[in-house]
Amino acid sequence: MTETNATAARSSARPDVQADFQPLGISHRPSPTETLLRDLKAKDSPAFIGYLPYGFPDARGSLEALRCIVENGVDIVEIGLPYSDPVMDGPVIQSASQLAIAHGGRLEGVFDAVRTVAQAGAVPLIMSYWNLIFHYGVERFATKFEAAGGAGLITPDLIPDEAGEWIEASQRHGLDRIFLVSPDSSDARLAAVAKHARGFVYAASRMGVTGERTTLSASPQELVRRTRRAGARNVCVGIGVSTPEQGAQVGAYADGVIVGSALVHTLLDDTGVNVRDLRDGLDALAATTAALAKGIHGARR
């Protein structure tokens, strides 16, 4: 059955859902992520991309935290969808995700976070394991995400070879597709990711899970070079960037610098598993974000 006939059949069987389906097509909406990265390149500045999980420390607090990092220098925000069985998240983000889930954080509420980031003046991305999007409904997610002002989706466990449904939906709604590469990625894999990515390619600085590090190796710089050679227009580096000095180091060669655990950590107490007082946590988050922004934005000066 063709897509048109299948849609007609569903609509005929359930007239009330006819508006939920739309014909195939391609949106001509420019990529907000690529537009921002192009503008920053004109200023010879890398982007500061900050990650925080939605629902952490709770739904209201997470919206305040998202506004806080935008006000203190983050250009692009990765809004994490808490997941009970994360693949690449280290202990800090795992703790935050567990707290978010315990406080009722669910996918449906993340669209409020997207609107919050967009209204604050940054580019909103969602970072999610594919299972959550698949079970929510790809078309349903894409429709609501676009309506909320979302720019794109980072999918750490989805490769282009298996992303047909998402590629189709993202083309219809003008959403970015951000896939990951690692130092172990073959040239063929880099080329496949570069071909299908929109927005930027996420270069994982090393194999393993997220987390703060005292030093960074030279491998991400070589990975950025290889990924650009494979055809990627924008390559941003994440995993392990924790300090302004490291941000400046990576920002000297990458189009964007991604920081997650170092931001999340400011909202946890010394145990690393409990939430700090929100006011104290937001003060610490503001100071950490501002310092990182200074290092990253000044990386090439």
**Residue 45 Ramachandran class (φ > 0 left, ψ -120 to 50 alpha, else beta):** beta
Cα(102)–Cα(99) distance, rounded to whole angstroms? Answer: 5
**Residue 89 a catalytic site member:** yes
Predicted TM-score of the model (pTM): 0.86
Helices 244-251/278-297 angle, 10° precision:
40
Write the CB contacts of 241 (distance below 8 Å, at least 6 apart in sequence).
Answer: 205, 213, 216, 247, 250, 257, 258, 259, 262
**Per the residue annotation, which of 3, 64, 75, 78 is the catalytic one?**
78
More confident residue, 276 or 102: 276
For residue 131, what pLDDT is reported? 93
For residue 85, what pLDDT is reported? 65
For residue 240, what pLDDT is reported? 83
Share of the chain above pLDDT 70, in %: 85
For residue 21, what pLDDT is reported? 43
At CA 51, angle to CA 50 and CA 52, rounded to 5? 130
Q: What is the pLDDT of residues 164-183, one digit of tens each?
A: 999 999 999 999 999 999 99
More confident residue, 27 or 198: 198
Mean pLDDT score across all residues of the chain: 87
Q: What is the pLDDT of residues 213-255, one digit of tens each?
A: 444 556 799 999 999 999 999 999 998 899 999 999 999 999 9
**Per the residue annotation, which of 39, 71, 85, 89 is the catalytic one?**
89
Cα(39)–Cα(87) distance, rounded to whole angstroms? Answer: 33
For residue 11, what pLDDT is reported? 34
**CA 98 from centroid of its chain's CA atoms:** 19
More confident residue, 283 or 217: 283
Cα(81)–Cα(83) distance, rounded to whole angstroms? Answer: 6
Reduced to 3 states (helix: H, G, I; strand: E, B; else coil), residue 235 is strand
What tokens were used for 130?
A: 């594919």
Phi and psi, residue 50, nearest 5°:
-110, 140
**Residue 78 a catalytic site member:** yes
pLDDT average, residue stretch 200-204:
96
